Chains A and B, each alone.
Chain A
């Protein structure tokens, strides 16, 4: 059974509310994406054009890429419907299916995750993976396990990123001229420190990009739609105000990343609030917090499940960022957590209805232990943390 279906689904409270149905939810979702789309176009197109670094035709490309993301997604789903349902492959039937499938949203989100110089053929491949493999082959809207856009992004990121870099990569026409960027995104710079084990500082991580205000506004290099925390927050506030998403899901996720980053920062001698702030304002943390972990199909639907999901996701994001070789961490951790969305949803639902009794208690206990282990491992394994514990271990040995 679909966990989130077209039309009215009895197990979804939002769509049961007066004036709310899946159509309005998706419409509000598109409205929430609007500030992000506009800022992305402004930062990567209009502003660069005004700087005199690109021509008018080049200025339109970011917007074209985002629109094409949605358009390709719709066309591919249309073809899929045509091929798989021979009895209803007329225009009216397919149009109706497309209307209730909301194909445009994963395509737009996918385009917003990609760098500005992504070639169209790479976008087509990503859209195919997202729409056909990630969504339609699982049964279509409401049946998919993985966030379709994220799946397309991750697979393209692992397999075709070289083509994107060769085509121009992530830096827009003005950013390539800024020497202090040194051809690296903020997370790229952080990865260099992570890999070499050298100490990082505000001067090395933030100052090349100005200050943290630039990170908040979004005038730093990065994927098309993920740099502006401000634009994302505006979209998020709209979604919360419209009761499309629960405010605590993004807050818990961002809070988890913030607190764990702060602890790690303190243990490497950077106790300033700048480091956790930098951590949540870089990469896709904010974008994922508002537009991905609130997505109703691939994340838990009940409040307890959302909390558990956000806690785990935040911890894994930090784990992958600071311990693993993936400077981003968000996409990989979210794909991983998508797998556990159904069990988390199921057992958290049982706990909500029956309280902490079997089988919910067992599940909660296992989850709790796993969570503690991941948190502890993340903290200990992150940057010189072990050496930070050495004095304590020595005291214990003396005793």
Chain B
């Protein structure tokens, strides 16, 4: 044995050293590689915890899951968002304070992953965080990068028990906005399934919507809508104010409170009627009807329509004020505001026509065109439909 060790001891030691390095060094390497995922998971979970103020720890749980389809942004197809992770968020007393759903939706591309934190105490969406995406973001202030703080603030402390559970999209990043909007709605469905939360569900359909051109009642309500509601398809004709709030029922079945609450949301999202003109008020003594129309901003151009003494025609239209501005760098070459507005009004007063749009003042032109169309509709209504 001694002789063997004398002869072979050195090679055994050297080989053993190699073996030790191979085994333990290999384990060390493997540990390092595994730690990449562990560290990434830790960072991921820490970033999720930041969504909940009093969150201390996360506990993974299996969510019930909901099969719900949504329109793929920019397409007619439908898809179901994927739930990737679900965590309960515990506070420092190890009491559940919130739940986080990590959901994959579709924006301009598939793979839009975001976390949605919901307070289990208040039934509120606390915040969202985009985890990863394949959206276009290689240009400053373009596409995905347009989703600014103001956009994300819409998700902060947002009540789940509202009918209009959606966010305003950002122009230039519409599809990315919709990815988060759909994710948020899907998170609410998941929350409802996991926590027995009841989502307000109103069955309501707007069949028709028209402006009220009747000068006798125009100050009482601005719109007349024909609706179908409830599970047994009740119908009614209702009157609405300028903000689409319910005023009264003209005819039909009795409208429930849920439908009354839902009307402003449903009407504002309908595309049956162009809703850019707002009726400001009618003065019976002077026969002056004030209206405004949406241009660059809401109700930015104001005008007065003088009705004739027989109350069956428009005598003339007078420009009052405008908040518009023209784009001289994009081809506008005329005078300043209200050149375009006045032009449209003069065109109507003198010949009853709607002018073509003016280069460099396209938005204002379209607004005034819609206003003149509205006035023509009013005139037809005043004249008994002729």
A123–B36 Cα distance when bound, in Å, is 19
B10 touches A75 (CB 8 A): no
A64 in contact with B14 given A54-B39, A72-B21 (CB within 8 Å)? no
B residues sitting closer than 8 Å to A (CB atoms) are: 10-11, 14-15, 17-18, 21-22, 25-26, 28-33, 35-36, 39-40, 43
B32 contacts A121, CB within 8 Å? no
Contacts of A54 in B (CB 8 A): 35, 39
Interface of A is mostly: helix
Closest to A94 in B: B10
Query: Are the CB atoms of B35 and A58 closer together than 8 Å?
Result: yes
Q: Does A325 count as interface, using CB distance less than 8 angstroms?
A: no
Chain A residues within an 8 Å CB radius of B29: 117-121, 167
Q: Choose, from A76-84, A194-202, A244-252, A316-324, the stretch at the interface.
A: A76-84
Any B CB within 8 A of the CB of A181: no
Smallest CB gap from A91: residue in B = B10
A392 CB, min distance to chain B CBs, angstroms: 37
A68 at the interface (CB under 8 A from B): yes
Which of A68, A78, A79, A94 is in CB contact (< 8 Å) with B25? Answer: A68
Cβ A117 vs Cβ B33 within 8 A: yes
- What are 29 sample pairs from A and B whose C-beta atoms fall under 8 A apart? A53-B39, A53-B43, A54-B35, A54-B39, A58-B32, A61-B28, A64-B25, A64-B28, A68-B21, A71-B17, A75-B14, A75-B18, A75-B21, A79-B15, A82-B14, A90-B10, A117-B29, A119-B29, A119-B30, A120-B21, A120-B22, A120-B29, A121-B29, A123-B25, A124-B18, A167-B33, A168-B32, A173-B39, A176-B40
- Kindly list chain A residues whose C-beta atoms are within 8 Å of the C-beta of B31: 57
In the bound complex, residues from chain B placing their C-beta under 8 Å from that of A55 are: 35
Give Cα A123 to B10, complex, Å. Answer: 23
Q: Is B22 touching A168 in the complex (CB atoms < 8 A)?
A: no
Contact call A120/B28, Cβ cutoff below 8 A: yes
Task: State the CA gap A64–B30 with chains docked (Å).
Answer: 14
- State whether the Cβ of A177 lies closer than 8 Å to any Cβ in chain B: yes
Q: Could you tell me the distance between the alpha carbons of A57 and B30 in the complex, rounded to whole angstroms?
A: 13
The B-contacting residues of A in range 153-186, CB under 8 angstroms, are: 166-168, 173, 176-177
Q: Judge whether A277 is part of the interface by a CB distance below 8 angstroms.
A: no
Q: How far is the CA of A176 from the CA of B33 in the complex (A)?
A: 13
Rounded to whole angstroms, the CA-CA distance of A54 and B39 in the bound complex is: 7
A89 at the interface (CB under 8 A from B): yes
Residue of A at shortest CB range from B36? A168
Closest to B40 in A: A176
3 shortest A-B CB distances, which residue pairs?
Answer: A120-B25, A119-B29, A120-B29
Would A121 and B26 count as touching, CB distance under 8 A? yes
With A64-B28, A119-B26, A167-B33 known as contacts, the answer to whether A79 contacts B14 (CB < 8 A) is yes
Interface centre among A61, A120, A166, A176 (most CB of B within 10 A): A120
Collect the chain B residues with CB atoms within 8 Å of residue A124's CB: 18, 21-22
What residues of A have a CB within 8 angstroms of the CB of B21 in the complex?
68, 71-72, 75, 120, 124
B212 to chain A, nearest CB (A): 55
Query: In the docked arrangement, what's the CA distance between A176 and B21, Å?
Result: 28
Bound: A91/B13 CA distance, A: 11
What CA separation (Å) do A71 and B31 show in the bound complex?
Answer: 21
> What residue in chain B is nearest A166 (Cβ atoms)?
B33
Question: For B15, what are the chain A residues with a Cβ–Cβ distance below 8 Å?
Answer: 79
Q: How far is the CB of B4 from chain A (nearest CB, A)?
A: 14
B344 CB to closest chain A CB, in angstroms? 47
A61 to B28, CA, bound (A): 8
> Chain B residues near A118 (CB, 8 Å)?
29
User: Chain B's nearest CB lies how many Å from the CB of A349?
Assistant: 40
Flag if A120 contacts B35 (CB, 8 Å).
Answer: no
Distance in Å from the Cβ of A341 to the closest Cβ of chain B?
32
| CA–CA, A121 and B18, complex, Å | 10
Which of B11, B22, B32, B40 meets A61, CB within 8 Å?
Answer: B32
| B25 close to A89 (CB less than 8 A) | no
B325 to chain A, nearest CB (A): 34
Which one, B18, B22, B36, contacts A79 given CB within 8 A?
Answer: B18
Task: Map CB proximity to B onto A75-103 as digits: 1 under 8 Å, 0 otherwise.
Answer: 11011001100000111001000000000
Contact of B17 among A64, A75, A83, A123 (CB under 8 A): A75
Measured CB to CB, the closest approach of chain B to A114, in angstroms, equals 12
Closest to A93 in B: B10
Q: Which of B18, B25, B33, B43 contacts A76 (CB 8 A)?
A: B18
B11 and A177 within 8 A (CB) = no
Q: How far is the CA of A78 from the CA of B18 in the complex (A)?
A: 11
User: Which residues of chain B are near A58, meaning CB under 8 Å?
Assistant: 32, 35
Measured CB to CB, the closest approach of chain A to B27, in angstroms, equals 9
CA distance A61 to B24 in the complex (A): 12
Interface flags for A48-67 (1: CB within 8 Å of B; 0: not) read 00000111011001001000
Contacts of B18 in A (CB 8 A): 72, 75-76, 79, 124
Since A57-B31, A167-B29 are in contact, a sample of 17 more A-B pairs with Cβ atoms closer than 8 Å, ordered by chain A residue number, is A54-B35, A58-B32, A61-B32, A68-B25, A72-B21, A78-B10, A82-B10, A82-B11, A90-B10, A91-B10, A94-B10, A117-B32, A119-B29, A120-B21, A120-B22, A120-B25, A168-B32
- Smallest beta-carbon distance B129→chain A, Å: 15
Least Cβ distance of B133 to chain A in Å?
A: 12
Residues of B within 8 A of A121 (CB): 22, 25-26, 29
- Closest chain-B Cβ to A398's Cβ sits at a distance in Å of 43
Chain A neighbourhood of B43, CB < 8 A? 53, 177
- Provide the A268-279 mask, 1 if CB < 8 A to any CB of B, else 0: 000000000000
Distance A57 CA – B35 CA, assembled complex (angstroms): 10
Report A99-121 CB contacts with B as 1/0, cut-off 8 Å: 00000000000000000011111
**In whole Å, how far is A79's beta carbon from the nearest beta carbon of chain B?**
5
Alpha-carbon distance A167/B31, docked complex (angstroms): 10
Residues of B within 8 A of A64 (CB): 25, 28
In the complex, chain B residues whose CB is within 8 Å of the CB of A168: 32-33, 36
In the bound complex, CA of A388 to CA of B34 (Å): 50
